[in-house]
A and B are shown apart, each in its own frame.
Chain A
Amino acid sequence: MSYKVTEEGNVSTIHLDGEIDMDVTEKAKEVIFPVIDSGKEVHLNLSQVQYMDSSGISVLIESHQRALEKSTKVIIKDVSKSVLKVIMMAKLEQILNLE
């Protein structure tokens, strides 16, 4: 998994790239959580994530819940078809902020 972070005003966009499984969840959290903790609105761009398993879904849930605690939000952007299918299988499409 690789990533890129861009900043624009009060929005930080994190572009994740690759496959998100148990092997990279800690790395994903290390990238995402500090940005959430900074209080900025986080846009998580998943257009280049071709695979995500239950560990990756857990990162999305944790990020969402962490953002609520910090009075900000995580918006999941441009989710790929394969990842959207997993999100829907987990019945999270109404819980997570998808755009």
Chain B
Amino acid sequence: MSEIAHQDHTEKKAFLVNTSSLKEVRIFCREVFEKLHIQEDLKDELVLAIAEAAQNIVKHAFKNSASPTELMVVQISCENNKLQIAFYDRGTPVDPKKVKHREIDNIKPGGLGTFFIQEIMDAVEFKDGKKPWINHLVLTKQL
């Protein structure tokens, strides 16, 4: 847990649902975390977790075939030193029971993104998406 008091702050941004947006998502996160004065090592981890969640939207919720104008929204909020990152998308509804990473000792490509998210964040919660959204994922981390 950080001893620095981070200023309360909220920002959100919409991105096209495609793999090219992943870099933009990372840039957005880094910019917000700069404003929040989050230390470098933690910032790298948080950017990875957020990028993995965005990747899951592209890869799983839309199966790499979203329409060219389809959007996902990433919202980063910091309140009372608690970081909350929310993702909104209109892809296939996620069944939280089916979201699991591969066994870490079973060395094979794939299945690590969810593991990274769970390792880095304190909590991962799938909520009902309010219209027009279908999926609403919330990641939290106490700073």
Contact = CB atoms under 8 A, between A and B. Distances in A.
Chief secondary structure at chain B's binding surface: helix
Contact of B51 (A53, A58, A89, A90): A53
B26, B45, B109: which has the most chain A beta carbons within 10 Å? B109
Contact of B59 (A22, A51, A57, A89): A22
A57 B119 CA distance: 16
A55 interface: yes
A8 B109 CA distance: 29
B20 interface: yes
Please classify the interface of chain A as helix (H, G, I), strand (E, B), loop, or mixed, using the class held by over half of its residues.
helix
Given A51-B26, A54-B113, A82-B44, A90 B104 contact: yes
Interface of B: 19-20, 22-23, 26, 41, 44-45, 47-48, 51-52, 55, 58-59, 104-105, 107-110, 112-113, 115-116, 119
19 contacts: A19-B26, A21-B22, A21-B23, A21-B51, A22-B19, A22-B58, A23-B23, A53-B22, A53-B48, A55-B113, A58-B110, A61-B107, A65-B108, A86-B48, A90-B104, A90-B112, A90-B116, A91-B104, A92-B107
Interface of A: 19, 21-23, 51, 53-55, 57-59, 61-62, 65, 82, 85-86, 89-92, 95
